Structure 1
Amino acid sequence: MRLNEVIYSDAVPVEAYGPGFFRIGGRAVNGPLCLSGRGVEPWGGFDDSATLLSFVGQVDVLFLGTGSEITHLPPALRNLLDAAGLGVEVMNSPSACRTYNVLLSEGRRVALAVLPV
């Protein structure tokens, strides 16, 4: 088996997560957050559409983690993101973190918005 070191060029990956926190760049960040090439940003959850809309034109896809379990986005938020042309993939937060890290390692233009588990 051949192992290769993964190099993240323009953003940092999610290193770990646990009850109420994510570890990014060696430090714990509590609560919901957004992560992209811009860095770590606080996110106010489903009521904070402005932070999500700030990714329009900057990323190809936004991975949205809904916590421990996958849930549907509120219809108004889904409609707003669709109308803005932002590609959104909704999944539970552990899956969103893993998917974000993989696509980030491939050099893709991605962002992550996650609720803690």
Structure 2
Amino acid sequence: MRLNEVTYTDAVPVEGYGPGFFRIGGQVIEGPALVLPSGAQPWGGYDDLDAVLAVADQLDVLFVGTGGEIAHIPAPMREAIEAAGIGIETMNSPSACRTYNVLLSEGRRIGAALLPV
């Protein structure tokens, strides 16, 4: 699916996604992806929190896309993110991509951790 083009500041938008990939800021990432103020990168999944915690002072909310269907995230992940002072919102990945882009266009301090659909 291709998302509508929106003009952003320095942050990178999610431009599209499909089975097993995300297109973020002109870059295709196969598999899970992490989108932070510093850019997009592959993500190791629920246990890979170092990059998120390293930029905790730059984030207010992290959107977690759980793939094609909404699912609960592991409690240790939620606890670590919240302990760092970051709000966490869980939704399916298509919804997380859209919500991330909308709030990004508003200049919000957000990130996204996305599992592919």
TM-score if structure 1 supplies the norm length?
0.88
Distance in 2 between the 1:25 and 1:85 partners? 26
| RMSD (Å), alpha carbons | 1.4
Q: Which residue of 2 aligns with 1:41?
A: 41
Q: Which residue of 1 aligns with 2:114?
A: 114
Give unmatched runs, 5+ long, in structure 1.
none
Change in Cα spacing, 1:37 to 1:77, as seen in structure 2 (3 Å) is: closer
Deviation of 1:12 (Å)? 1.6
Change in Cα spacing, 1:91 to 1:50, as seen in structure 2 (3 Å) is: same
Deviation of 1:38 (Å)? 0.5
Change in Cα spacing, 1:15 to 1:79, as seen in structure 2 (3 Å) is: same
Distance in 2 between the 1:48 and 1:31 partners? 14
Identity of aligned residues (%): 62
Distance in 2 between the 1:58 and 1:76 partners? 21
Distance in 1 between the 2:70 and 2:53 partners? 21
Q: How does 1:1-117 map to 2 (within 5 A)?
A: 6-117=6-117
The answer to whether the Cα contact below 8 Å between 1:43 and 1:51 also exists between their aligned partners in 2 is no
Distance in 2 between the 1:80 and 1:26 partners? 30
Distance in 1 between the 2:83 and 2:91 partners? 20
Total equivalences in the alignment: 113
Distance in 2 between the 1:76 and 1:36 partners? 20
The answer to whether the Cα contact below 8 Å between 1:33 and 1:40 also exists between their aligned partners in 2 is yes
Distance in 2 between the 1:92 and 1:59 partners? 20
1:49-100 per-residue CA deviation (whole Å, 9 max, x = no partner) reads 2222223111111111111111111112212222222111111100000000
Q: Match for 1:8: what amino acid? A: Y
